[in-house]
Amino acid sequence: MEIGIDILDRSGRLAARKIHVELMGKYSNVIFTENGVILEALIKTRRDKSALRTIAPKEAYEFPPNFMRMDPFEFSADELCNMMTAGTDEELGKWMMRRFNGMSTVVLDELSCMTGLDKNTYLRDLTDAEKHIYARAVATLGERLQGARGAYVYCKGQKEILFPLRLQSLADYDIRYYPYIEEYLKEFQDTRGSLNGEQEYLKKKTGKLIERQIRKMKRIDGELQETGKMDIYKLYGDLLMIYAYEKHDHKKSVTVKNLLSEKQENIEITLDPSLSMTDNANRYYKKYMKLRNRKQKSAELLAENEKELAYLQSLEYALQTSVTKDELADIKAEMRHVGLLPPAGKEKLKKDSSQQILTLHTDGMEIWIGRNNRQNDFLTTKKARPRDLWFHAKNQPGSHVILVSHNGTPTAEQIRAAAECAAFYSKGKDSSKVEVDSTLVRHVKKPAHAVPGFVIFENQTTYVVEPKKHVELE
């Protein structure tokens, strides 16, 4: 987009200048020019392998490399068919992307769906009839776009695609339709405006904390490995005490029979020549005690750090799956509450009653799904009843899922649906099968001073299920 402006320069002369707004995804830029020379730019680059042009003050302005690409919908089917005949050594999709504006994976997939022709097929392998079918599909898509109104939003998991037409290629996506694009933009601003920036910042911060935690655990584990010599040091001390009556003072080592072993093999023990046998024995006992204490403390530290790592991973999962400002605000408040973010004045955690729990309905019963640690705590420790069934993906971050048994016993189908939801709302959602633990809520306890979302449980049954969202139950 090019915006022309007239201004008075310092000499009082009227100067014509231009603002070039280049909307090209991550390569977007705003450039200020006069007479084709760059005065200033939002993002400056130098021509190299990654940048195809120089953007800097006093340099000549060049249009983006794809500026000369054409509009595919300005050509008839016959004209497009003739153009395809010249590109025999390229794949169909790459040829379209290189030559025409407005091409994307979504558009190419739709054209493939309309024609049955793979976008990775080489043009030389297409018959004249197939080229004509494809060219006709491009023209038809252009005609549909010209008359399009409103917007379709295609959703699958965290992926969301906005397009002005109903697409055959995305038929398996959840679809929302907005008669006016402004309705979608307003909804986006109200629910997710500025969400992505904050979300990425928090994910990056949490990722760094996880990396630091893993390094810390590796160091502790290394210290634990060093305690493997603990028992041998005690053995050396015991044997030296047994043979203390023998005169081996001022020797660098001594070989003795291991009377504490069935084989009674000979063992060579290194000595400090300046010490007596008894003092050398005590030296080995001190080494043994030091490593024994280290082993105990390191094991305790490792267990604590495993819990901290699991908590950080649960935060990372919640951040990856948060889709609204309210969900992100919950996570930020939690991170401040536990000290992972600096306090924000008088900000307080919202009351539990304000939590928006995702609820599904199945044959007179309900499935409740927590979307972050605070919701999980509220759901499991306050909202659910002792006789309800609790579900959670085994040994990985995920939502607490409750199958509410109002008056009867849940059926096998209802239990499986709840388990499949627990698998879907977990880090293992992209796996073909996920193990899910389930038990009565009365068997789930939250230890005192535990981090948000952490519980212990017993009497569980483990199901192996395929992750499913069960949108039909919403």
The pLDDT value recorded for residue 194 is 58
What was the pLDDT predicted at 353? 40
Read off the pLDDT of each residue in 269-273 and give the average, rounded to a whole number: 91
pLDDT at position 92, please?
92
Q: Angle at Cα 361 formed by Cα 355 and Cα 362, nearest 5°? A: 145
Contacts 24+ apart (CB under 8 A), 181-188: 181/150, 181/151, 184/151, 184/153
Two tokens, residue 79: 């004209």
Architecture category of domain 77-192 in CATH: Orthogonal Bundle (1.10)
Segment among 82-91, 220-229, 259-268 with least mean pLDDT? 82-91
- Rounded to an integer, the average pLDDT of 134-163 is 88
Q: Is the dihedral of CA 182, 187, 190, 196 positive or negative?
A: negative
Name the residue ranges covered by the structural domains of the chain.
2-60, 77-192, 195-342, 358-465
Q: What is the pLDDT of the chain when averaged over all its residues?
A: 87
**Burial of 241 (C-beta count, 10 Å sphere; 0-12/13-18/19+):** middle
Q: Are 27 and 9 in contact (CB under 8 A)?
A: no
Q: Which helix (H) or strand (E) holds 151?
A: strand 151-156
CB-CB contact of 170 with 161 (8 Å)? yes
Residue at 132: amino acid letter: H
pLDDT of residue 212: 93
Compute and round to an integer the Cα radius of gyration of the chain.
34
Report the pLDDT value the prediction gives residue 68, as an integer from 0 to 100. Answer: 60
Find the farthest-apart pair of alpha carbons in the chain and give their distance in angstroms, rounded: 109
Percent of the chain whose pLDDT exceeds 70: 92
**Do 231 and 291 contact (CB within 8 A), yes or no?**
no
pTM exceeds 0.75 = no
Answer yes or no: is pLDDT of 72 > 90: no
- pLDDT 10s digits, 387-400: 999 999 999 999 99
Output the six-digit token pair for 165: 């037409």
Give whichever of 8-12, 168-172, 226-230, 436-440 has the largest mean pLDDT: 436-440
At residue 28, the pLDDT reads 83
In which band, very low, low, confident or very high, does the pLDDT at 25 lie, cut at 50, 70 and 90?
A: low
Give me the pLDDT at residue 438, please: 97
Residue, of 193 and 221, whose pLDDT is higher? 221
Assess whether pLDDT exceeds 60 at residue 49: no
Q: Nearest to residue 460, comparing CAs of 440, 433, 446, 442?
A: 440
Segment 358-370, tens digit of pLDDT: 888 877 789 999 9
- Which of the residue ranges 63-77, 227-241, 388-402 would you say has the lowest mean pLDDT? 63-77
